[in-house]
Structure 1
Amino acid sequence: MAQKSILITGCSSGIGYAVAHGLKDAGWRVFATCRNPDDVERLTGEGLESFCLDLTDTGSITAAVAETITRTGGTLDALYSNAAIALPGAVEDLPTDGMRAVFETNLFGLHELTRQVIPVMRAQGHGRIVQCSSVLGLVPMKWRGSYVASKYALEGLTDVLRLEMADTPIKVILVEPGPVTSRLRINSIPHFERWIDWKASPRAAQYERSLLDRLYTDTGPDRFEVPPEAVTEKILAALASENPAPRYFVTKPTYIMNVLRRILTTRALDRVIQKG
């Protein structure tokens, strides 16, 4: 049986890094992409096939897809869209250009990549498209408006794509992590410092009491936090199943919030989320 291939975005650290190594160990041919050439060199040194893919650059997306299908001889069994950025801050303090920057990576670039991969999968007669959402694609949380908005949009876009692809052999799947060990918090700091003028905000005191400490202080693992390898297990299940589920939940908070959002009123759910 020919070795199956998968293209993964956002492999420099965290979930993408763990999934790339986990799938390689499971026998997949993994194309582990990331934006930074230094990370590409590091991943290559670790035995992964790696090259650059910047979701904010259509030319980079096109080049990465072309590189992938050149290496495989024109096929691609699966795509796992993992890359995402976060811009913390109160919604009233989010510049629209900052929101656009989040959507360029978390939605628009992901969408462009998906569109470029679908014709390859149509031509070969099979394929899996796996999108990494979040518990914050199911329920909201304060200070995370741009990330929540992008993941809500991803949920809707992927649901529609799944319905539209039902008459094809291409399966479309959402993976729903919750608190997973990653560098998302650390990586969000430059975006926060670029876009959020928190000192001029009417919520400046709230930033000082809550967000700044959480953003800049490493307080150790969150409650219920799991290692990124937990996501790898779900990805492997989604890729192996003949009839994969539309959604794969990873952490306890994700399972719980998925139930609560369906059985509670909006106000009751708001109270649960406010309490943390």
Structure 2
Amino acid sequence: MIKQQRNWLITGCSSGLGYALAKYLITSGEQVFATARNAKDLNKLVEGHDNAYALTLDVTCTADIEGAIEFVNQHGGVDVLVNNAGYGYIAAIEEADEKDYRQLFETNLFGLIALTRKVLPSMRKKGSGHIINISSIGGMIGNPGSGFYAATKFAVIGFSESLSKEVESLGIKVTAVLPGPFRTDWAGRSLQAAKHPIEAYKETVHDRVKSLNQQSGQQVGDPIRAAKAIIYAVNSAHPPLHLVLGKPGLEMVQEKIVSLSDELTKWTDITLSADYPD
């Protein structure tokens, strides 16, 4: 059980990691402001709990953001913000529809930024707070068909790193969470794909979409255990800036680090040749 009740504002709680995290926190005695685009989807989650609230919050809607922050401020303000709302989009760079990938950025990145900016003033005044930004292994590794999704998640990590250096001295902590494959709806009904596929990308992109769909529901990642890991990090005196979740994700990041190191070593002479001579 918790030592002192905190206010958690969590986006994207209708399913997956957001739902698991909100549910675990509610049963642990924390005060949870669970949000979804339709608050009615959260009735079962908060029903019978006086420490839980269901709020309508579409992170792409300024009015929803302002309304949610105002409501939480009436109950003491946000202690922990979890920017979890987002979805997957698989399409080759060439075949993607501009409307679709712009909407992806609005949800996965710009909505996260907008909500973060709204909680910062109160956290700054209190001299405390923790911002959890849910990125992805796709925020460190780009795969075929994930160009736009990876762009949003790479951006979340860069945003989190810069933010952490701005607010650390103000008592505010920042953690970017990088889940690998987890048993959520990400690769199932929530995954969006190109509406006008181009045959040339069948083997590199379209077959991957099929593979992801087939693997949905069989991933090794457990959302409940992921929720516990996030809470552990928040309760830590020195939480990580990057929190990778799951064995597959850890292995992929480790391979990326080795590959990047090898590439830097191989091209060191050319890299250094770009400077003015001593």
- Letter of the aligned partner of 2:19 in structure 1? Y
Quick one: structure 1 residues 204 and 166, their matched pair in 2 at CA, closer, same or farther if it must change by over 3 Å? closer
Quick one: structure 1 residues 209 and 61, their matched pair in 2 at CA, closer, same or farther if it must change by over 3 Å? closer
Give the structure 1 partner of residue 218 of structure 2.
Answer: 221
Quick one: structure 1 residues 266 and 128, their matched pair in 2 at CA, closer, same or farther if it must change by over 3 Å? same
1:15-164 mapped onto 2 (5 Å cutoff):
15-45=17-47, 47=49, 48-70=52-74, 72=75, 74-164=76-166
Deviations 1:144-167 (A, max 9, x none): 222111100111111110111122
Quick one: structure 1 residues 94 and 149, their matched pair in 2 at CA, closer, same or farther if it must change by over 3 Å? same
Q: Which runs of 5+ in 1 are unaligned?
A: 269-276
Confirm or deny that 1:230 pairs with 2:225.
Answer: yes
Quick one: structure 1 residues 143 and 204, their matched pair in 2 at CA, closer, same or farther if it must change by over 3 Å? closer
- Letter of the aligned partner of 1:196 in structure 2? K
**Aligned-residue offset at 1:24:** 1.6
Quick one: structure 1 residues 176 and 42, their matched pair in 2 at CA, closer, same or farther if it must change by over 3 Å? same
Quick one: structure 1 residues 31 and 209, their matched pair in 2 at CA, closer, same or farther if it must change by over 3 Å? closer
**Aligned-residue offset at 1:125:** 1.8
Quick one: structure 1 residues 206 and 238, their matched pair in 2 at CA, closer, same or farther if it must change by over 3 Å? same
Secondary structure at the aligned position of 1:92 is classed as: coil
**Aligned-residue offset at 1:135:** 0.8
- Of 155, 179, 182 in structure 1, the residue corresponding to residue 181 of structure 2 is 179
**Aligned-residue offset at 1:262:** 1.7
The TM-score, its normalising length taken from structure 1, stands at: 0.86
Give the structure 2 partner of residue 170 of structure 1.
Answer: 172
Structure (1 or 2) with the larger CA radius of gyration: 2
Give the structure 2 partner of residue 197 of structure 1.
Answer: 196
Matches of 2:228 and 2:103 in 1, distance apart?
31
Matches of 2:245 and 2:205 in 1, distance apart?
32
Quick one: structure 1 residues 43 and 208, their matched pair in 2 at CA, closer, same or farther if it must change by over 3 Å? same
- Letter of the aligned partner of 2:195 in structure 1? I
**Aligned-residue offset at 1:209:** 6.4
Identity, in percent, stands at 32
The question of whether the paired residues in 1 share the 8 Å contact of 2:184 and 2:217 is answered with no
Secondary structure at the aligned position of 2:90 is classed as: coil
Q: Which runs of 5+ in 2 are unaligned?
A: 264-278
Secondary structure at the aligned position of 2:124 is classed as: helix
Deviations 1:210-266 (A, max 9, x none): 1453365566413xx221012112211121112211111211122122222222149
Matches of 2:71 and 2:251 in 1, distance apart?
41
Q: Please, what is the CA RMSD of the aligned residues?
A: 2.2
More helix by share: 1
The question of whether the paired residues in 2 share the 8 Å contact of 1:135 and 1:253 is answered with no
Give the structure 1 partner of residue 275 of structure 2.
Answer: none
Matches of 2:262 and 2:196 in 1, distance apart?
30
> How many residues are aligned here?
259
Matches of 1:142 and 1:18 in 2, distance apart?
29
Give the structure 1 partner of residue 207 of structure 2.
Answer: 210
1:238-249 mapped onto 2 (5 Å cutoff):
238-249=233-244
Deviates more, 1:101-110 or 1:41-50: 41-50
The TM-score, its normalising length taken from structure 2, stands at: 0.85
Matches of 1:217 and 1:262 in 2, distance apart?
29
